[in-house]
């Protein structure tokens, strides 16, 4: 196990970051041909490419317990939510205060004004209109984001809570006494803010090629490992994506043989992503099959549509031994100075050391089959004011940060 590094930061939380690999890879004797491009998605001026993956489901693979009809219904509802959110942002952006899924599975849209027009629009536009609710709030999402930007100079961690329509600020008691007046002046409206005290302690722990399989690397203290999230391309190279805090090194899949699978030189654990890519040697097959499972990666959530606050995600990591963990509710999106920004905080999964870098996904359904939709890369555990949670890095942050050029998926999706 890699030696722990402790970082004491400005928010109450204890972070345990483990390292696990979830990328699907086995070995072949011949060089791979350039992958076939299946789809190209454009979002916010950026392109995301789906590439035809390779590899086969293992004989002893576990079949996930996912009801196709229920998964398909839930996906259809979320797609309607996405369309309505896009319509709101295009036509009434100044009124939009956020959206979340409540405990009854209903979509709650926060609106700064009368919601009757929106309710009438939904009734005409969606067959799932009864799944939508509207709540009148004081602040728009634009106002909350502006306040969030204004307080960054105070070196505090923040999260916008769509349920309370507040900007949550995580700050210790001493700093609050010192900066409270200036913070409230910066946001210009004291009712917009909720102060949540504490401090954050971060502990990075590394542990060992189908998505979910472990990968090994050697340090002065001996062998350690991480988990692979998914397979992709970077320029003309095939790469395996895992957590950046695993570090730059030469990587191996010791479960297959003693030959190196490739090298990581772009590890990053700051800014907006904790991720790195292992540039594979020519003997690596770029699999889209989850390790030890019959489930395959079909697509990826480049817009964040399927992981709003209150939605649920699953994890496929080394410690699961071929089975996924889930479902875990999305709690908040956390910005914290001095570490990776815009992290997704979820209910605590049973992840352990060696699971960092693993696949976080939601279920996508098509053609009578369930697939995994990539949501991001598992970073580890975090304790906020005494409560433990899980956390992951958004797919788009990983893809854009590493400069990936495509992701290997199941061509049948």
pLDDT tens-digit readout, 106-164 = 999 999 988 888 888 888 888 999 999 999 999 999 999 999 999 999 989 999 999 99
**Could you tell me if 215 and 275 lie in one domain?**
yes
**Could you tell me if 346 and 228 lie in one domain?**
yes
pLDDT band at 185; cut points 50, 70, 90: very high
What's the structural domain count of the chain?
3
Rounded to 10 deg, the angle between the 68-91 and 116-125 helix axes is 130
The mean pLDDT value of the chain amounts to 86
**Residues sharing a CB contact under 8 Å with residue 183, sequence separation 6 or more, in sequence order:** 151, 154, 156, 169, 193
Q: State the average pLDDT over residues 82-110.
A: 95
Q: Enter the tokens of residue 127.
A: 């067959």
Tens digit of each residue's pLDDT (9 = 90 or more) over 335-357? 998 899 999 999 999 988 889 89
Q: Enter the tokens of residue 124.
A: 């005409």
CA distance 202 to 198: 13
Count the helices and strands in the chain (H runs, E runs).
Answer: 5, 28
pLDDT for 33: 66
pLDDT for 90: 92
**Could you tell me if 165 and 214 lie in one domain?**
no
| Alpha carbon 383 to its chain's center | 18
Q: Is the pLDDT of residue 20 over 50?
A: no
Q: pTM value?
A: 0.86
Which domain range does residue 194 map to? 141-198
What is the chain's alpha carbon radius of gyration, rounded to the nearest angstrom?
21
Strand partners, 245: none
269 and 380 Cβ atoms separated by less than 8 Å: no
CA distance 289 to 231: 10
Q: 251 versus 256: which is more confidently predicted?
A: 251
**Could you tell me if 90 and 55 lie in one domain?**
no
**Could you tell me if 194 and 207 lie in one domain?**
no
Least Cα distance to 186 among 165, 158, 221, 161 occurs for: 158
**Could you tell me if 242 and 324 lie in one domain?**
yes
pLDDT for 198: 67
**Could you tell me if 9 and 89 lie in one domain?**
no
Range 311-347 burial, b when 16+ CB lie within 10 A, else e = bbbbbbbbbbebbbbbebebbbbbbbeebbbbbbbbb
Tell me whether residue 201 is exposed, middle or buried, using C-beta atoms within 10 angstroms of its C-beta: 0 to 12, 13 to 18, 19 or more. middle
pLDDT band at 25; cut points 50, 70, 90: very low
pLDDT for 72: 95
**Could you tell me if 31 and 61 lie in one domain?**
yes
Least Cα distance to 152 among 335, 348, 364 occurs for: 335
pLDDT for 212: 66
Tens digit of each residue's pLDDT (9 = 90 or more) over 255-294? 777 788 899 999 999 999 999 999 998 767 778 999 889 9
Tens digit of each residue's pLDDT (9 = 90 or more) over 225-250? 889 999 999 998 999 999 999 899 99
**Could you tell me if 296 and 394 lie in one domain?**
yes
Tens digit of each residue's pLDDT (9 = 90 or more) over 26-81? 333 334 567 899 999 999 899 999 999 887 777 678 888 899 999 999 999 999 99
**Could you tell me if 178 and 271 lie in one domain?**
no
Q: State the average pLDDT over residues 186-199.
A: 89
**Residues sharing a CB contact under 8 Å with residue 99, sequence separation 6 or more, in sequence order:** 81, 85, 107, 108, 109, 110, 162, 308
118 and 129 Cβ atoms separated by less than 8 Å: no
**Could you tell me if 43 and 180 lie in one domain?**
no
């Amino acid at each position: 196990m890699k030696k722990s590094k402790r970082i004491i930061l400005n928010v109450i939380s204890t972070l345990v970051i483990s390292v696990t690999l979830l990328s699907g890879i086995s070995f072949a004797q011949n060089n791979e041909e350039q992958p076939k491009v299946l789809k190209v998605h454009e979002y916010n001026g950026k392109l995301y490419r789906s590439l035809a993956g390779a590899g086969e489901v293992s004989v002893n693979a576990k079949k996930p317990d996912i009801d196709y009809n229920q998964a398909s219904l839930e996906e259809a509802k979320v797609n309607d939510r996405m369309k309505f959110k896009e319509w709101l942002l295009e036509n009434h952006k100044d009124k939009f205060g956020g959206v979340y899924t409540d405990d009854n599975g209903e979509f709650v849209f926060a609106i700064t004004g009368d919601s009757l027009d929106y309710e009438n629009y939904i009734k005409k536009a969606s067959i799932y209109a009864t799944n939508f609710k509207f709540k009148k709030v004081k602040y728009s999402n634009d106002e909350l984001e502006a306040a969030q930007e204004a307080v960054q100079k105070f070196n505090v961690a923040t999260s916008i809570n769509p349920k309370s329509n507040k900007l949550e600020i995580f700050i210790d008691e001493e700093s609050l006494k010192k900066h409270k007046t200036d913070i409230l002046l910066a946001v210009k409206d004291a009712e917009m803010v909720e102060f949540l005290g504490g401090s954050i302690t971060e502990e990075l722990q590394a542990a060992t090629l189908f998505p979910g399989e472990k990968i090994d690397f050697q340090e002065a203290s001996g062998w350690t490992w991480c988990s692979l999230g998914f397979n992709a391309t970077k320029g003309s190279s095939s790469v395996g994506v895992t957590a950046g805090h695993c570090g730059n090194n030469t990587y191996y899949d010791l479960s297959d043989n003693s030959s190196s699978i490739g090298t990581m030189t772009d590890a990053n654990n700051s800014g907006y992503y904790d991720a790195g890519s292992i540039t594979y040697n020519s003997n690596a097959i770029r699999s889209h099959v989850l390790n030890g499972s019959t489930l395959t990666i079909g697509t990826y959530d480049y817009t964040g549509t399927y992981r709003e606050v209150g939605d649920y995600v699953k994890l496929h990591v080394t410690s699961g031994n071929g089975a996924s963990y889930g479902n875990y509710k999305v709690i908040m999106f956390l910005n914290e100075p001095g570490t990776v920004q815009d992290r997704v905080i979820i209910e605590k999964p049973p992840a352990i050391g060696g699971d960092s870098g693993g696949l976080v996904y939601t279920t996508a359904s098509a053609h009578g089959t369930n697939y995994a939709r990539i949501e991001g890369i598992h970073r580890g555990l975090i304790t906020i004011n005494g409560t433990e949670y899980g956390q992951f890095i958004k797919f788009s942050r990983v893809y854009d940060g590493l400069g990936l050029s495509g992701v290997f998926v199941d061509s049948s999706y």
